[in-house]
Chains A and B, each alone.
Chain A
Amino acid sequence: MSFLSLENVTHHYFTKKNVTRALDDISFSLDEGEFVSLVGPSGCGKSTILSIVSGIMQQTKGKVLLDNHPVREFPGAIGYMLQQDYLFPWKTIIDNVLLGPKIQQKTSADIRKKALELLSEVGLKNVEDDYPDSLSGGMRQRVALVRTLVTDPKVLLLDEPFSALDYQTKLNLEDLVHKLLRQYHKTAILVTHDIGEAISMTDRIFVMEANPGRIAKTFEVPIELRDEIPFLVRRHSKYQPLFDKVWAALNGEEIQKNTG
């Protein structure tokens, strides 16, 4: 029995003049604690899938089930982490992190303690009373990660969360996010443009194609790579062959598009 599953999800965008098929018959399922990634060209509907899973967008056809119930029945079950951190500049770090619990009226000494623990776990000790403007981009993104984790979501959606960071910060954060997701046994979907990131962090890779958006190919990441620290995965002997295969799958798609 799978934890999160998409069954024949199809989505159309309607404009006044025409209808675009953004997603065509997407089906996949995740076990609890599984971490998958979506890679593909711009406009292939990667982010649309996340919006549908999170319930922000309603699919035209198909089902999204969490524990065999429609995902909409679980408010607060989905945590979202985006390219930008969207921290509120007028709230201190701790107030930003505890905004979710505060709105759900679940603030308590326990959750505050948990938030502080998580902050120190991501290397942010003694900054809880600072304002976001005094933190660097990487630190802010770590705060955003803590904010996502503190509400204890069932599923995490990561929409290119590292793409606005410098390379060094990005590699460090990849390791950190990978570690935390494993540690808390979180189910997660990562959207990325970076093949290396997909291979080094996730268990399965869905390569998508555009017009209409669908899953072209699925790659299982070899078991030896899955539990390795992302940074070390990139030097593993099994890394490059997989990279080449995913690359070929992505480019095959591009060539088809150019000739057709």
Chain B
Amino acid sequence: MLSKIKEMKLTVIPWFIPLVLLLGWQFFSWIGVIPERILPAPTSVFSSAIELTSSGELFSHVSISLTRALVGFLIGGIIGFLFGLFNGVFRIADLLFDTSIQMLRNIPHLALIPLVILWFGIDETSKIFLVALGVLFPVYINTYHGIKYVDKSLIEMGKAYGLKGTALFFHVILPGAMSSILVGVRFSLGVMWLTLIVAETISAHSGIGYMAMNAREFMQMDVIVLSIVLYALFGKLSDVIARYLERRLLRWNM
């Protein structure tokens, strides 16, 4: 009984501040301290969400943004992971690729937006390309680092037991590098949203960012705020996914 109450407290407390802010915001909008054209009340944001949902507009923008995020993340993540893996394991790959990757890594990928628009136009390809590029480096760095710094003596122990090749990799190297790899994944989920928001806001004809920019033309404050709230929710969602992965894959570390 006592532990149940404690558990409930643990789930409720983190939401306390968001809730107070929301209520305060609503209250001050009601009494007119926050003018409607500066910041619309939560209720009007909510009603515009319902309106856009029933017209199907919201769903199409959200699903387009999510698809871009996911496809870009998978492409960039897989490429980054594979490079990290090969450069971490094979010395020749390390010598061949690492220097080049480190050089590319230091170019802010968002600086490439003008170039990317000229190359790919403002279609899906340009967004996915940018997201993939942004995601690639954090995953690469952390995979590479994780594999390079697996406890050498554990590798020796594995070898003493006759582990080699892929068996050594799956029993020792990959689990040893896993916590570092997941740090990369978590970080790159943040980069994923950031890149997508910027790319969609600057140049797009669909997606959440486009919805916000379009609303600005018509001074629809409630839609703009709705877009921002959506990004916050998706940010939280990717954090939940990252935490879930950590719990599953790093059970031994709890």
Chain A residues proximal to chain B, CB less than 8 Å: 56, 75-76, 80, 84, 86, 88-92, 99-100, 103-104, 131-133
A76–B163 Cα distance when bound, in Å, is 12
Contact in complex: B178, A86 (CB < 8 Å): no
Interface of A is mostly: loop
Contact in complex: A88, B172 (CB < 8 Å): yes
Contact in complex: B160, A90 (CB < 8 Å): no
- Among B160, B176, B253, the one with the most A-chain Cβ atoms within 10 Å of its Cβ is B160
Expressed in whole angstroms, the minimum distance between the Cβ of A101 and any Cβ of chain B is 10
Contact in complex: A90, B176 (CB < 8 Å): yes
Chain B residues proximal to chain A, CB less than 8 Å: 153-154, 156-158, 160-163, 167, 171-172, 175-176, 178, 251-253
Report B-chain residues with C-beta under 8 Å of the C-beta of A104.
162
Extra A-B contacts (7), CB below 8 Å, given A88-B158, A89-B253, A103-B167: A76-B162, A84-B153, A100-B162, A103-B162, A131-B251, A131-B252, A132-B252
A132–B175 Cα distance when bound, in Å, is 14
Report A-chain residues with C-beta under 8 Å of the C-beta of B253.
89-90, 133
Expressed in whole angstroms, the minimum distance between the Cβ of A168 and any Cβ of chain B is 26
Report B-chain residues with C-beta under 8 Å of the C-beta of A84.
153
Report B-chain residues with C-beta under 8 Å of the C-beta of A76.
162
Expressed in whole angstroms, the minimum distance between the Cβ of A149 and any Cβ of chain B is 14
- Among B171, B172, B178, B251, the one with the most A-chain Cβ atoms within 10 Å of its Cβ is B171
Report B-chain residues with C-beta under 8 Å of the C-beta of A133.
252-253
Contact in complex: A86, B153 (CB < 8 Å): yes
Report A-chain residues with C-beta under 8 Å of the C-beta of B161.
99-100, 103
Partner of A88 from B160, B167, B171, B251 at Cβ < 8 Å: B171
Contact in complex: A80, B160 (CB < 8 Å): yes
24 A–B contacts from the bound complex (CB under 8 Å): A75-B162, A76-B162, A80-B160, A84-B153, A86-B153, A86-B156, A88-B154, A88-B158, A88-B171, A88-B172, A89-B253, A90-B176, A90-B178, A90-B252, A90-B253, A91-B175, A91-B252, A100-B161, A100-B162, A103-B162, A103-B167, A104-B162, A131-B251, A133-B252
A132–B251 Cα distance when bound, in Å, is 12
Expressed in whole angstroms, the minimum distance between the Cβ of B167 and any Cβ of chain A is 7
Partner of B175 from A75, A80, A88, A100 at Cβ < 8 Å: A88
Contact in complex: A56, B163 (CB < 8 Å): no
